[in-house]
Amino acid sequence: MKYTDKDIQQAIELSQYAANKCSELEDYSIEMEEQLFRLQRKCSLIRTLQITTPISLLIGLLLGLLI
pLDDT digits (tens, 9 = 90+) for 32-55: 999 999 999 999 999 998 989 988
**Which residues touch 3 (CB under 8 Å, ≥6 apart)?**
11
Cα dist from 14 to 1, 28, 35, 55, whole Å? 20, 21, 31, 61
Q: By residue range, what is the domain housing residue 30?
A: 1-67
What is the mean predicted confidence (pLDDT) over 53-62? 90
Phi-psi region of 4 (alpha: psi -120 to 50; beta: other; left: phi over 0): beta
Number of domains in the chain: 1
pTM: 0.61
Phi-psi region of 26 (alpha: psi -120 to 50; beta: other; left: phi over 0): alpha
d(CA 27, CA 42): 23
